[in-house]
Amino acid sequence: MTDEPVQLWSVRKVYGSAAGEVTALDDVTVSFRAGTFTAVMGPSGSGKSTLLHCAAGLDRPTDGKVIIDGTDLGPLGETALTLLRRRRIGFVFQAFNLVSALTAEQNVALPLRLAGLRPRGVEVRAALAEVGLADRARHRPGELSGGEQQRVAIARALVTRPSVLFADEPTGALDRATSRDVLRLLRDLTGRRGQTVVMVTHDPVAASYADRVLLLADGRVVDEFTAADTGPGHADPGHADPGHADPGHADPGHADPGHAGSGGSGSGGSGSGGAAGRAPAGPGLSPELIASRMAALEASC
């Protein structure tokens, strides 16, 4: 595992159609460091989803390179690409995309089955515990709230212990309070297990949970800033969770001390080894500042 599990080098994506060509990504070079939480923002049509799809191997760039954990995706055939995606990449969609006939635990087990593995109950339950849903294992999506469904989708994306978790507008279908739970969870994952997270959102409040923001316009990265650039000022007082000094247990609703050991030794090691002083201790980004940088961008377009 490299220090930058996701790298894009001069990535271009041109969609062709009878009516003409659309350059959705125009020479994008960007990388994502292990254990960081990045928000990708920009106006509608600026290329956010295309960036995520290319980075996740769901779509192939027209030009340039995408490197996941040191592997260049370009030369991989469809089968090899699918295998890499199943093992190394988690993806969460706005619409949850759970299989409605399956229970939460069956949904979470699905990526393991697709990878030809026989899911062990303990790892499936560990993934559900990690998102605070240990007690909902037997429920079907229709019996769960929107926020719970999205947390099941996150557990499903995490069960293969991917190098990176991509999320495209994961709170787009959720109300404010539920969104906050999902965003705190994503943020906690970066701290608790050193999970690299890349999230597309158009909401400055959602983006403020990240530790870095990339702004796209017309398929290019036009601005980028981190918590260190903007200083503290997060609107959500629960962010720092007063009364819970230990960042390893930042959210009592999700923390499950009993599961840390059963979740696999690899994650525990990388989480505690690399997470010191990272995301949970950070000040968070200010939604106001994010909104003003977005407004400046939109005014200049």
Ligand X SMILES: Nc1ncnc2c1ncn2[C@@H]1O[C@H](COP(=O)(O)OP(=O)(O)O)[C@@H](O)[C@H]1O
The residues that touch ligand X, with contacts defined as CB under 6 A, are 15, 17, 22, 24, 42, 44-50
Q: Closer to Mg ion by CB, 48 or 180: give it.
A: 48
Q: Closer to ligand X by CB, 46 or 149: give it.
A: 46
In the complex, residue closest to Mg ion by CB: 49
Cβ 11 to ligand X shortest distance, Å? 12
User: What is the biggest distance separating any 2 CA atoms in the chain, rounded to whole angstroms?
Assistant: 59
Cβ 41 to ligand X shortest distance, Å? 9
Angle of CA points 8, 212, 82, to nearest 5°: 40
Distance in angstroms (rounded) separating the CA atoms of residues 109 and 208: 31
Do 88 and 116 touch, CB atoms closer than 8 A? Answer: no
Q: Which residues bind Mg ion (CB under 5 A)?
A: 48-49
| Partner from ligand X, Mg ion, none binding residue 50, C-beta < 5-8 Å depending on class | ligand X
Q: Closer to ligand X by CB, 16 or 237: give it.
A: 16
| Partner from ligand X, Mg ion, none binding residue 7, C-beta < 5-8 Å depending on class | none
Distance in angstroms (rounded) separating the CA atoms of residues 140 and 193: 27
Cβ 201 to Mg ion shortest distance, Å? 10
- Rg of the chain over Cα atoms, rounded to whole angstroms, equals 18
Q: If residue 200 lies in a helix (H) or strand (E), which one and from where to where?
A: strand 196-200
With H, G, I as helix, E, B as strand and everything else as coil, classify residue 217: strand
Cβ 47 to ligand X shortest distance, Å? 4
| Residue 229, token pair as written in the block | 């650039």
Q: Closer to ligand X by CB, 137 or 166: give it.
A: 166
